[in-house]
Amino acid sequence: MDVVLIMVLAFVGYIIAYKLYGEFIGKKIFQLSDKNKTPAEEFEDGIDYVPTKKGIIFGHHFTSIAGTGPIVGPAIAVIWGWVPAIIWVFVGSVVMGAVHDFSSLVMSLRNQGKSISEISAQYVSKRIRFVFFLIVFIELWLFLAILGMIIAVIFHMYPQAVLPVWMEIPIAIILGLAIYKRNSNVTKATFIAVTLMYVFVVLGHWIPLDMPQIGSMPATGIWTIILFIYAFIASTLPVTTLLQPRDYINAWQLFVAMALLILGVVVASFSGLHFVAPTVQATPEGAPSLWPFLFITIACGAISGFHAVVASGTTAKQVAREEDAKFVGYGSMLMEGALSVLVIIATTAGIGLAARGDITSLTGVAKWTEHYASWSTAAGLGAKVGAFVEGSANMISYLGIPQSLGLIIMGVFVASFAGTSLDTTARLQRYVIQELLGAKRVGASEKKNFFTNKYGATILALLTALILAFSTGVGGTGALALWPLFGANNQALAALALFTASVYLKQSGGMKYLVTFLPACFMMFMTTWALISNEITYFTTGEVLLGIINLVIILIVVFVAFESLKAMFRKVEKASQEPSMA
Ordered alpha helix ranges (H), 110-161: 116-123, 129-157
304 DSSP 8-state letter: -
Please report the pLDDT score of residue 382 as a whole number. Answer: 61
Q: Sketch the domain layout of the chain as residue ranges.
A: 2-472
What is the pLDDT, as a whole number, of residue 219? 87
Q: Residue 52 — φ and ψ, nearest 5°?
A: -130, 145
CA angle 333, 335, 336 (to 5 degrees): 65
**Rounded to an integer, what distance in angstroms lies between the CA atom of residue 524 and that of residue 504?**
18
Cα 518 to Cα 90, 247, 578, distances in angstroms: 17, 33, 23
Specify the pLDDT at position 369.
85
Q: What burial letters (b/e) apply to 403-435, b meaning 16+ CB within 10 Å?
A: bebbbbbbbbbbbbbbbbbbbbbbbbbbbbbbb
Burial status of residue 345 (CB atoms within 10 A of its CB: 0-12, 13-18, 19 or more): buried
Instruction: Name the 3-class secondary structure at 220.
Output: helix
* Phi, psi for 214 (deg, rounded to 5): -115, 115
Cis, bond preceding 519 (omega within 30 deg of 0): no
Give me Rg for the CA atoms of the chain.
Answer: 22
Closest among 431, 448, 28, 30 to 236, alpha carbons compared: 431
pLDDT of residue 338: 95
Do the Cβ atoms of 59 and 255 come closer than 8 Å?
Answer: no
Neighbours of 536 (CB within 10 A): 12
Residues of the chain with pLDDT below 50 are: 441-445, 574-582
Residue 574 pLDDT: 46
Provide the sign of the torsion angle of the four alpha carbons 411, 365, 399, 85, taken in this order.
Answer: negative
Question: What pLDDT sits at residue 111?
Answer: 92
263 bridge partner residues: none
Strand partners, 52: 319
pLDDT score of 497: 93
Cβ burial 453-469 (10 Å sphere, 16+ → b, else e): bbebbbbbbbebbbebb
Sign of the C-alpha dihedral, residues 41, 46, 49, 50?
A: positive
